[in-house]
Amino acid sequence: MSWAKAVTKEAVLISADVKPRPVVYIISDSIGETAELVVRAAASQFNGGNVEIRRVPYVNDTFEIPEIVEEASHFNSLIAYTLVLPELREIITAEAKKHNVLTVDIMSPMLDALTKLEGHQPKLEPGLVRKMDREYFRKVEAIEFAVKYDDGKDPRGIMRADLVVIGVSRTSKTPLCMYLAHKSIKAANVPLVPEVAPPEEIFNLARHKVVGLTIRPSQLNEIRRERLKALGLTSNADYVSMERILKELEFAEKVMKKAGCSIIDVTNKAVEETASRVLEIYYKGRRHGG
């Protein structure tokens, strides 16, 4: 079905007395992520960002554009586009003028400015951001790694990780690993429980690749009580008793000392603060060969 034929009854049934919700079409030769971020940022300044966004990605042929513009003309809409090929931009401009549709060219002003700055013409190759952005893919891979090897689910992750976080339950191991993943570091975490022997792999890693988290017993008690309350469970479980907490922390400390790793007290610390210290330990260790 063509874009034009896909126009819904919405366009016909809108009352003349009520201004319809704005629709922003995003046309891109890639996924349209950049344009959507710009549109949402701008839209947030108007009525809480109450606009409908319709993303049309991977537009690389001129024949696609007339139908998209025609559909947009049936709504209270505008078209925002990020297209590097001049012929596509020219067709959007011509079609939009024909149908009286507002357009915003997000890419061209920056391309023109950089052309003057660089002193030569751009490559005009669609999708280069994704092709060149290796860091983006490393970050995605690190996030997937953190999810897969969360909470010691698979000990094989220990030897594959850039960094391993160990500690008792509720010391923010998982949030820390996810934060590190956004820094493109593959982090696995292992919970330390007195009844379960820790994986031997953690004792074979370079010291800078293992970080232990500890916490003040009173705060851990409070955190665990809140956790049980959120789960609708009774707060008199052994999990929250001070005797149990002290036993776990003592066991964890012995494991950490055996591993020879750095120990960070996360009491009253935000994840970002803990991560900053972890990154310092990790990169310093890498520079000095562990």
Q: Are residues 110 and 164 in the same domain?
A: no
Choice among 63-67, 78-82, 83-87, 131-135 with the minimum mean pLDDT: 131-135
Hey, what's the torsion of the CAs at 12, 13, 15, 21, to 10 degrees?
-80
If you average pLDDT over residues 173-202, what whole number do you get?
Answer: 96
Write the CA distances from 107 to 66, 82, 98, 132, 194, integer angstroms. 20, 5, 22, 17, 58
Q: Residue 77: beta bridge partners?
A: 23
Query: What band does 133 get if pLDDT is binned at 50, 70 and 90?
Result: low
Distance, in Å, from the CA atom of 51 to the CA atom of 61, rounded to the nearest integer, reads: 27
Which three-class secondary structure state does DSSP give residue 101? coil
Q: For the whole model, what pTM was predicted?
A: 0.58
If you average pLDDT over residues 14-36, what whole number do you get?
Answer: 77
Question: Shortest CA distance to 38 belongs to which of 50, 26, 30, 46?
Answer: 26
Choice among 10-14, 60-64, 73-77, 187-191 with the minimum mean pLDDT: 10-14
In a domain, 36, yes or no: yes
Q: Comparing 132 with 207, which gets the higher pLDDT? A: 207
Which three-class secondary structure state does DSSP give residue 103? strand
Distance, in Å, from the CA atom of 34 to the CA atom of 235, rounded to the nearest integer, reads: 47
CATH for 164:
3.40.50
Q: How many domains does the chain have?
A: 2
Query: What band does 254 get if pLDDT is binned at 50, 70 and 90?
Result: very high
- Structural domain that includes position 64: 10-132
In a domain, 54, yes or no: yes
Residue 123 has pLDDT above 80, yes or no: no
If you average pLDDT over residues 271-288, what whole number do you get?
Answer: 92
Distance, in Å, from the CA atom of 206 to the CA atom of 195, rounded to the nearest integer, reads: 26
In a domain, 31, yes or no: yes
Residue 250 has pLDDT above 90, yes or no: yes
Residue 257 has pLDDT above 90, yes or no: yes
Q: Are residues 121 and 143 in the same domain?
A: no
Q: Which range in 35-39, 110-114, 126-130 is most confidently predicted, on average pLDDT?
A: 35-39
Q: Are residues 62 and 150 in the same domain?
A: no
